[in-house]
Structure 1
Amino acid sequence: MLQTALHFSHTLLKEIIQPGDLVIDATMGNGFDTLFLAELVGKTGKVYSFDIQEQALLTTRKKLVESGLDTRVKLFLQGHETIGEILNLDVPVKAAIFNLGYLPKSDKSIITLPNTTKRALDEILLRLTPRGRLLIVAYYGHDGGMDELSMVRNYCESLPQEQFNVLNYQFINQKNQPPILFCIERKKKSE
């Protein structure tokens, strides 16, 4: 059976993340990706997780503590556009994931925005290791969602093929705007 965009994003992350890696959850949400990443990086790795809503941080912290993985994660109550203020340029990032849209079961007027998402993408790509992956699961069936989806698609299409492989994964015969997955992988210099 074909995987949903979210499940396929996890498959793509599992393929490359190793214990000791530094990874980013750019949109913490309800903490599912943060928890998943914390398991993958092991005791010596680190997850940096961002969200602007306190509810997201509290829900995520509770999941991490209950799972005994809280020491592997740094939670930030701030937008993903501030990644450049948190991580020095010389900090290698193995992987990052975004779930664009709004926090499920919360205020649907608080959404990710094209300009802040673009800034976060720029900052992560500056730090992404060779064979590192940046995944974007774009939920776009809400006000403002199509604008952000358009920005992400244009951003991905403009990346130089000499430096990046970019995958677009989506179901095209489903109703209600199923999410679209984009995967950006940095090539090794010798490729």
Structure 2
Amino acid sequence: MKNLQITAYTQHFIRQQVMPGDICIDATMGNGNDTALLSRLAGEKGHVIAFDIQKQALEHTAERLLKDGCPENYQLILDSHENMMNYAKPDTVSCITFNLGYLPGGDHSVATKADSSKKAVEAGLHLLKKGGLMTLCIYSGGDTGFQERDAMLDFIRQLDPHKYLVIQSEYINRPNDPPIPVLIIKLFSEKQKVVS
């Protein structure tokens, strides 16, 4: 088996999830790795919406998508991921991916924060269709990483088990606060009534 880094681990499940024609969201586009993967998987008839608050991230991602020959099925948005409800409708999105932390190779003082990330995950859960997948790569450390990690884990542990399946993995023998991969699968449609 390959030595799976956290992004490769979550991308394994993304590849199982996304089908041609799907709508997908990269909530934290960074350097465009997940955006490019989602674009290729969704294909020409699909649509990918990618968010970042840093212009540098949009520029790097646009270059990456062109270099990789990805279909022109994407929309790169300079906005916080917590506003994703303004760009997609509930029950329509197949896959949403998050890499929480800072832009690799970028300014470490500009990073995702617990409050906006929680709002973004909440918004994303409404946008996912039944059977939709959300992946979270939770990095800790830095100025706010531990606070964000603890807040996110506390939030997802409280998600209604009748509505969501939450799977948290961990690298138990790696030192220095290794990242935490999380999968969330939506079990219901926003249109249906959930019986507790």
Query: The TM-score by the shorter chain falls in which range?
Result: over 0.9
1:169 to partner: Cα distance: 1.0
Instruction: Give the Cα separation in 1 of the matches to 2:26 and 2:155.
Output: 19
Tell me, what secondary structure is at the counterpart of 1:15?
A: helix
The aligned residue for residue 144 of structure 1 is 144
Tell me, what secondary structure is at the counterpart of 1:74?
A: strand
Contact 2:6 / 2:137 at 8 angstroms: preserved in 1? yes
- The 5 A counterparts of 1:1-191 are 1=1, 3-69=4-70, 71-89=72-90, 92-188=92-188
> Match of 1:57, as an amino acid?
L
Contact 1:5 / 1:169 at 8 angstroms: preserved in 2? no
> Match of 2:160, as an amino acid?
P
Q: How many residues are treated as equivalent by the alignment?
A: 190
Contact 1:5 / 1:170 at 8 angstroms: preserved in 2? no
- Which deviates more from structure 2 when the two are superposed, residues 80-89 or residues 103-112? 80-89
> Match of 1:156, as an amino acid?
I
Tell me, what secondary structure is at the counterpart of 2:17?
A: coil
Query: When the two structures are superposed, what TM-score results if normalisation uses the length of structure 2?
Result: 0.92
Instruction: Give the Cα separation in 1 of the matches to 2:40 and 2:176.
Output: 32
Please give the per-residue CA displacement for 1:75-127, whole angstroms capped at 9, x wherever unaligned.
001110110122233x6011100000000111100010111111111111112
Instruction: Give the Cα separation in 1 of the matches to 2:169 and 2:41.
Output: 23
1:188 to partner: Cα distance: 4.7
Q: 5+ residue gaps in structure 2?
A: none
1:12 to partner: Cα distance: 0.9
- Which deviates more from structure 2 when the two are superposed, residues 43-52 or residues 181-190? 181-190
Q: 5+ residue gaps in structure 1?
A: none
Query: When the two structures are superposed, what TM-score results if normalisation uses the length of structure 1?
Result: 0.94
Contact 2:40 / 2:71 at 8 angstroms: preserved in 1? no
Q: CA RMSD in A?
A: 1.7
Tell me, what secondary structure is at the counterpart of 1:96?
A: strand
Contact 2:43 / 2:71 at 8 angstroms: preserved in 1? no
Instruction: Give the Cα separation in 2 of the matches to 1:175 and 1:152.
Output: 21
